[in-house]
């Protein structure tokens, strides 16, 4: 739940442990996600500004800035576990996206907010593009998700505990940019090492339009 969604969405931040989550990956090496890549210089500069201001709260390591579109699961040749994702399923999703009517669009970047686990920028999509793309992906894979989809751009995971009240005060002091939009002309299927929660994203597929 977002910090701004109610008076008491969470009492304090959750600290991300830098360790190998064996109980999660069970030996599976790569995890796959569809993303909207962020390549806008103005937005990247703004992200760097915000993470610098929150540096004492956030882990210094983070993946490349992106908007998560659809969480697929562990990249595997065959489905054994519920959260496995196969090459065949990926091919079906790629074909589904390629069949869509696509044109460049923009997403609106909103205010700084937070989940219990991570600071973020809210993302608005008045044109319904994210829902449109997600509807093409969903028939070919049961998304790995414990909560409702909330479009956002993660700024970083928390490395120390802070109360909700302290966090509200900190976020209120941050630099804010009005009417910042990000152009979108590509969607990427990326994977990352299941053994390193801060490891880089590796692009496996890209769907573009002009």
| Number of residues that this document lists for the chain | 210
Q: pLDDT at position 6, please?
A: 72
Q: Which domains, and CATH codes, for the chain? A: 17-107+124-155+181-208 (3.90.1140.10)
Cα 110 from Cα 103, distance rounded (Å): 23
With a cut of 70, which residues of the chain have pLDDT below it? 8, 210
The three-class DSSP label of residue 4 is: helix
Longest dimension (CA), the chain: 49
CB distance 164 to 6 below 8 Å:
no
Q: pLDDT tens, 13-30?
A: 999 988 889 999 999 999
Residue holding tokens 């573009």?
Answer: 208
Q: pLDDT at position 178, please?
A: 77
Q: pLDDT at position 4, please?
A: 86
β-pair partners for 34: 70, 189
Q: What share of the chain is helix, strand, coil (3-state, %, to 5)?
A: 25, 30, 40
Give the tokens for residue 103.
């044109």
């Amino acid at each position: 739940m977002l910090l701004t969604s109610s008076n008491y969405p969470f009492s304090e931040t959750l600290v991300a442990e830098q360790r190998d989550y064996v109980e999660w990956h069970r030996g599976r090496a790569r995890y796959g996600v569809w993303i909207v890549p962020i390549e806008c210089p103005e937005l990247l500069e703004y992200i760097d500004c915000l993470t610098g201001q929150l540096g004492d709260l956030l882990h210094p390591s983070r993946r490349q800035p992106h908007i998560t579109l659809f969480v697929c699961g562990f990249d595997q040749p065959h489905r054994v576990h519920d959260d496995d994702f196969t090459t065949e399923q990926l091919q079906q999703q790629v074909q589904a996206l390629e069949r869509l009517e696509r044109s460049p669009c923009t997403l609106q970047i909103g205010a700084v907010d937070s989940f219990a686990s991570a600071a973020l920028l809210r993302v608005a999509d008045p044109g319904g593009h994210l829902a449109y793309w997600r509807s093409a992906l969903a028939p070919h894979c049961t998304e790995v998700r414990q909560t409702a989809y909330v479009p956002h751009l993660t700024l970083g995971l928390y490395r120390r505990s802070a109360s909700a009240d302290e966090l509200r005060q900190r976020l209120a002091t941050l630099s804010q940019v009005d009417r910042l939009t990000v152009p979108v002309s590509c969607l990427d299927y990326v994977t990352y090492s299941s053994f390193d929660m801060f490891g880089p994203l590796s692009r496996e597929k890209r769907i573009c339009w002009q």
